[in-house]
Amino acid sequence: MQVVILAGGLGTRLRAITGDTPKSLVEINGRALLDYQLEQVALAGLRNVLLLTGQGGNQIAEFCGDGTKWGLFICRVQEALPCGTAGAVLQAIDHLESRFLLLYGDVIFDIDIPRMEAFHRAHSADATLLVHPNDHPHDSDLIEMDHEHRVRKLYVSPHPPCVSLPNLVNAGAYIIERVALAGLKSTLPPRPDFCRHIFPLLLARGTRVMGYRSPEYIRDAGTPARLEKVGSDLFSGCVSSRSLRNITPAIFLDRDGTLIEGRGHIGRPEDVYLLPGTADAIARLNTSHYRTAVITNQPVIARGECDEAMLHRIHNRLESLLGAQGAYLDAIYACPHHPDAGYPGERIELKIACECRKPGIALIEQAQRELHLDLARSWFIGDSSADIMAAQRVGVRSILVQTGEAGRDGKWQCQPDIICRSIVEAVDHILNLDQSRSVLQTAEDVKQLAGTL
């Protein structure tokens, strides 16, 4: 696969800091932005890079040379006049390989590119967009996908008020089959953009556009504030720690009675109410080294009280409520099954004894594979004995919260590691424990160091 980088950005919003330096050569912690990008490309084992340059193209050419420094082969196409992100790609179409990864020139990322390409192949996609939840979905371009990961709609910001949109943001990294771009040029406005023009056109044509949901770090550095943010994230190690190449602990979360009020079975988005303090607690996890994954039993589907599309809308609502308060979930896994058949309106194909209904562990194992999780360092927070039992079966420490069922269901005989009043207290407990461990570790290090002096 070839890598195409849109390096024609003028960096107008950064001019106060960078003067006439092209955006790709802006320095972050003493290194050019493009240097970080090319390092990632090389790390992924890719070799062929095409730079699409505009103003400042010669400076970029001078910086990169032929790419030997990174073990890459770098070519460059210079645009005569600014022609928009998609315009630059279409202009260079004769230089594109049959499949390419397109990256914006102002993003800092650490993504497992081979994993994304494997997804693209497995779904026979014509185009795959990397999407992720973020802490400001209200002013981001959002993607609506169906439960088979197919992109159905794009919402360019600003969004209509009072609509529950998914917290799935277009991150600006696409794998595209060149053939999908054939015949587009004549139908586009001047200076076309991928999100506003190309992808809506592809969707209208019925092209297979997929969304690849990733918890990894990818953020643009296009304004002074964002530049500062990615600089500090690179420095703190939070860019690389979120990469799917690295194994990471997770906080598994039950949904009803733990995150949201468990008023019977929730069958409509309007019935979703966050429990007090939930968004704050999740936001704290989002800035820690834990990934977050919801694991929920939703027998409402098997009983025919709610279908998959409605469940999707319920989860959009949950993500919207969290997103409005700067919090997000890395993934949501739901079991639609139920073991006992014989009720009116039920869906007989879902009335099975499955492996994914908690205390079954199939969804936890799926999360472990998809999010590359270290279960031994993970926690499960839930309100029922099925949550605690599932956690114990996979060797994950468990916290029973005294909201929702508060463990009174008594279906499974098991003891949680800890009991907390709510998710807020549970998250406090986990993060404080880590904090005191690291203080202890530092004290140990100091003692050892003192011993060697």
Residues 161-180 that bind Zn ion (CB under 5 A): none
Comparing CB distances to Zn ion, the nearer of 15 and 265 is: 265
Only segment of 270-278, 349-357, 383-391, 437-445 that touches Zn ion (CB under 5 A): 349-357
Closest separation in Å from C-beta 308 to Zn ion: 13
Selected from 43, 354, 406, 419, the binder of Zn ion by CB under 5 A is 354
Residue from 336, 383, 376, 378 nearest 360 by CA: 336
Comparing CB distances to Zn ion, the nearer of 203 and 362 is: 362
Bridge pairing between strands 31-32 and 27-28: antiparallel
What string of DSSP letters covers 265-311? S--SGGG--BPTTHHHHHHHHHTSS-EEEEEEE-TTTTTTSS-HHHH
Phi and psi at residue 447, to the nearest 5°: -60, -45
Overall residue count recorded for the chain in this entry: 453
Decide if 254 is catalytic. yes
Closest separation in Å from C-beta 315 to Zn ion: 16
Active-site residue (options: 35, 256, 383, 387): 256
Selected from 83, 356, 401, 420, the binder of Zn ion by CB under 5 A is 356
Decide if 271 is catalytic. no
**Spatial separation of the C-alpha atoms in residues 202 and 289, rounded to whole Å:** 37
By CB under 5 A, is residue 210 in contact with Zn ion?
no
Structure token digits, residue 192: 């076309």
By CB under 5 A, is residue 358 in contact with Zn ion?
no
> Residue 237 contacts by C-beta under 8 Å, 6 or more apart in sequence?
none
Distances, alpha carbon 245 to alpha carbons 10, 45, 112, 290, in Å: 32, 13, 6, 15
Comparing CB distances to Zn ion, the nearer of 76 and 338 is: 338
User: Residue 158, preceding bond cis, omega within 30 degrees?
Assistant: yes
Active-site residue (options: 110, 254, 330, 383): 254
By CB under 5 A, is residue 25 in contact with Zn ion?
no
Q: Write the binding mask 299 to 338 for Zn ion: x where contact by CB under 5 A, - elsewhere.
A: ------------------------------------x-x-
Bridge pairing between strands 142-145 and 99-104: unpaired
By CB under 5 A, is residue 291 in contact with Zn ion?
no
Q: Count residues near Zn ion (CB under 5 A).
A: 5
Q: Which residues contribute to the site for Zn ion (CB under 5 A)?
A: 335, 337, 354, 356-357
For the annotated catalytic residues, the residue numbers are: 254, 256
